[in-house]
Amino acid sequence: MDFQKLKDFRNTHNPFCEKLGILVEEIQAGCAKVTKHVTEEDLNPAGLAHGGVYFSMADTAAGAASASHGFFAVTVNAQYNYLRGGRPGDTFTAVARESKSGRTICVYDVQVTNQDGTLLGTGTFTYYLLDRKIEL
């Protein structure tokens, strides 16, 4: 699997992430890293980054890591723990690491941090690998 081509594919074929400004920075076997710069448009009424930003980043990182197997996949379960809030101007990073790889089910542990390395949240995401190869 050419991980550079896979990264490029993930960045050019995901309109949802394009809209949110989530960028896949790295994909390796069973792991991936995504980043996002937090803007005013990402805030909730309290002036902090909306929870959907953290969750979407974690899901995107885990999805990119699952794509390293060469197949499209869908999320079948997700659990996310919000630990700290982020503000406009922050840069968030989500890193997913595979904790279980199976023929059809894979599980990923994800950490979301800010530009200072402060842990903002953690999650566990379960993916079902579809019988549909990613053609690069």
Strands 31-37 and 105-113: unpaired
Into how many domains does the chain fold? 1
Q: How far apart are CA 57 and CA 63, in angstroms?
A: 10
Q: What is the pLDDT of residues 90-123, one digit of tens each?
A: 999 999 999 999 999 999 999 999 999 999 999 9
**What is the model's pLDDT at position 53?**
98
What is residue 22's predicted lDDT score, i.e. its pLDDT?
98
Q: What's the pLDDT score for residue 1? A: 87
pLDDT of residue 124: 98
- CATH at 73: 3.10.129.10
For residue 30, what pLDDT is reported? Answer: 97
Question: Could you list the residue range(s) of the whole structural domain that residue 9 is in?
Answer: 3-133
Tell me which amino acid residue 70 is. Answer: G
Q: 97 by DSSP, 3-state: which?
A: strand
Tell me the whole-structure pTM to 2 decimals.
0.97
| 2 φ, ψ (degrees, to nearest 5) | -85, 100
The dihedral through the CA atoms of 122, 96, 22, 90 has a sign that is positive
Q: What parts of the chain have a pLDDT lower than 70?
A: none
Burial class (CB in 10 A: 0-12, 13-18, 19+), 16: exposed
Find residue 108's DSSP bridge partners: 98, 125
